[in-house]
Structure 1
Amino acid sequence: MVFTRLLGSLGVGGPTVDTVLPDWTAAPGGSVSGRVQLKGGSGDFEIEQITLELVARVEAEHDDGESHGTVAFDRFVVGGGFRLVAGAEHSVPFTVTLPWETPITELYGQPLGIALGVRTELAVAGAKDKGDLDQLAVGPLPVQEAILEAFGQLGFGFTSADLEYGHIGGTGQRLPFYQEIELAPPARYAHAVNEIELTFLASPEGVEVVLEADKRGGLFSGGHDALTRFTVSHEDAGRQDWNAVVDGWVRELVEHPGAPHAGHEPHYAYEHDGGGHRSGPGVGTAVAAGAAGLAVGVVGGMVAAEVVDEVGDFFEGDDEDEGGED
């Protein structure tokens, strides 16, 4: 897409930019290659620096409720130091490596409602301008997909996914936010939990899997949250009985009387009252369990309209509120 907002800071007749990303799905910790295409304006310009930012739409919870903001979580200088003459075209190829904790935006080719993108910043003659966003598609690592597949085989259904600002205590988390994938339990667990929230924290060595259960209250006790954490290696993806492994995780989480799980700090960035839970942009999407595992589908005639609307607003609207709130 052409960054028309460059006209604002560089004046009418300034250069325009189109950042081209691959049409395939990237993976956490993997590389993304593309090119930044520039077209000269009515005069010559010194292109001092071309920078790519990875940005995400993140939710924050605080005393006054919830808010959303744009967070940049990585930055790459991919070019610069040349003159772009009037009317000339110039292409700058690039290859960047995604952080291992980059959120998953889709599963089996279907969107999860996560707004993630690449924003291009052009520094020209002492002025900087941030253009529109290009959407970035990220799929799960093999071990992440195996775990999600197992949840689906066990009867769990996808309800939503979002990005939460804050840090999960006791983990090796590096980004300023983490992803939560919210799953509805099958009948055999529905009496004990309202939902289970799944977080992946990947690294070169493996993946930390954080599970949090919104546990139902009993006759003489209120509901509460229970949390547990496991670590798996990337090599385990194809050599584990993941249905059995994940079922064991869930049983441990559901049957454990405490909250959170012993030895782990609560992973909330903000205080919660144990009542209503966070809801991400994918409320209108459901992932139905079946022979194919977690396959994004349709429930009650509702498709991912809310996902499309919210993600679309992020990429089409004014995103210069980096780190801010709506």
Structure 2
Amino acid sequence: MSLFHKTLASLGLGGARVDTVLETEVLLPGQSLPVRIDVKGGKVAQAVDNIHLYLCCRYEDEVPVSRGDSEHRMEKVQQTYTLAQWSLPEAFTLRAGEQRQFECRFELPVNTPITIGDSGVWLETHLEIPLALDPKDKDPLTIRPDPLLDAVFTALEQAGFRLLQVECEATDGFALPFVQVFEFVPVSGPYHGRWRELELITQVDGDHLTLWFAIDRRQRGVSGMLARLLGGGELKRQLAIPLTIDPMDIGEQVLAYLAQVDDP
């Protein structure tokens, strides 16, 4: 094959291609993700050192930005974070036009964000080819709440709360550089007209599901307050629930806890 085609392949033109096929695009945190990786050779033979997979998500951070003067302002930016990564350490030579297929299975982290609102989770697959642009594939995933978290959301909805916004916000003090914040507003029920907002963070830690709450009673907004309080270690309203609890019971515990902290 001509040097011209080899040069094009090194630039990603006419080179190997990769396509990851998901058996299911809807998953739960901690669930197994089965995938099939299809690799097809280009116009020239290429050495593949490895196949890498990255489970990625987005979160929002505030960074200082200079406007050309001495004053620095904080600006919100979207950051990408790799939740997990896996490799298939199988070096091989991919002949021109050759097709190969790999089947594998990976476990999602238990604190993979739920894909509601602006929260996005996707799987990237990269072929590691020396001296060439790595062929890539990107597949979005839909992550739904597990039975316990789903029961918490259902209990809040039955108590008159409506999910208004979901964001992954940067914070300190956690294994990840961010937390996922669920913002609820009471539209009916016992808290309507008394609370303005309820913010919730959930985190699986060992054998417990921990819930953190921030409540705005003063009609002035708590947006982002929960993440800031967590970063400063100042948030006291938290509830730890064993993962062995029946989903039928967790909603009652959450509502009983909210009734307890409702007394200012």
Scaled to the shorter chain, the TM-score interval is 0.7 to 0.9
CA contact (8 A) 2:166 2:183 kept: yes
Distance 2:155 2:50 in 1: 46
Identify the residue that residue 209 of structure 1 maps to in structure 2. Answer: 211
Which amino acid in structure 2 is aligned with residue 232 of structure 1?
A: I
Identify the residue that residue 87 of structure 2 maps to in structure 1. Answer: 77
Identify if the C-alpha distance between structure 1 residues 212 and 163 changes in structure 2 by more than 3 Å, giving closer, same or farther. same
CA contact (8 A) 1:213 1:253 kept: no
Identify if the C-alpha distance between structure 1 residues 213 and 61 changes in structure 2 by more than 3 Å, giving closer, same or farther. farther
Identify the residue that residue 250 of structure 1 maps to in structure 2. Answer: 258
Distance 2:15 2:118 in 1: 35
SS of residue matched to 1:236: coil
Which amino acid in structure 2 is aligned with residue 47 of structure 1?
A: V
Identify the residue that residue 192 of structure 1 maps to in structure 2. Answer: 194
Moved segments of 4+, more than 6 Å? none
Identify if the C-alpha distance between structure 1 residues 114 and 75 changes in structure 2 by more than 3 Å, giving closer, same or farther. same
Identify the residue that residue 69 of structure 2 maps to in structure 1. Answer: none
Identify the residue that residue 143 of structure 1 maps to in structure 2. Answer: 148
SS of residue matched to 2:257: helix
Write the mapping of 1:33-72 to structure 2, written as runs, cut at 5 A: 33-62=34-63, 64-72=74-82
Percent pairwise identity: 28
Distance 1:133 1:213 in 2: 38
- TM-score normalized by the length of structure 2: 0.80
Identify the residue that residue 290 of structure 1 maps to in structure 2. Answer: none
- Bigger fraction of residues in strand: 2
Q: Which of 240, 258, 262 is the aligned partner of 1:231?
A: 240
Q: Structure 2: any 5+ residue segments left out of the alignment?
A: 1-7, 64-72, 227-234
Which amino acid in structure 2 is aligned with residue 76 of structure 1?
A: W
Q: Structure 1: any 5+ residue segments left out of the alignment?
A: 1-6, 106-110, 257-326
| Deviation sequence 1:48-75 (CA, Å, 0-9, x none) | 0111111111111355131112222211
Structure with higher RCO (Cα < 8 A, 6+ apart): 1
Distance 1:185 1:23 in 2: 35
Farther off after superposition, 199-208 or 137-146? 199-208
Identify if the C-alpha distance between structure 1 residues 64 and 24 changes in structure 2 by more than 3 Å, giving closer, same or farther. closer
Q: Give the superposition deviation at 1:164.
A: 0.9
Write the mapping of 1:252-267 to structure 2, written as runs, cut at 5 A: 252-256=260-264
| Deviation sequence 1:11-35 (CA, Å, 0-9, x none) | 4221011111122522111210101
CA contact (8 A) 1:191 1:216 kept: no
Distance 2:139 2:156 in 1: 31
CA contact (8 A) 1:79 1:92 kept: no
SS of residue matched to 1:137: strand
Are 2:161 and 1:156 aligned? yes
Identify the residue that residue 312 of structure 1 maps to in structure 2. Answer: none
Farther off after superposition, 190-199 or 89-98? 190-199
| Deviation sequence 1:229-256 (CA, Å, 0-9, x none) | 11112221335162x3222222344434
Q: Give the superposition deviation at 1:223.
A: 7.0
Are 2:117 and 1:98 aligned? no
Which amino acid in structure 2 is aligned with residue 16 of structure 1?
A: R
Identify the residue that residue 98 of structure 2 maps to in structure 1. Answer: 88
Distance 2:46 2:221 in 1: 62
Are 2:180 and 1:179 aligned? yes
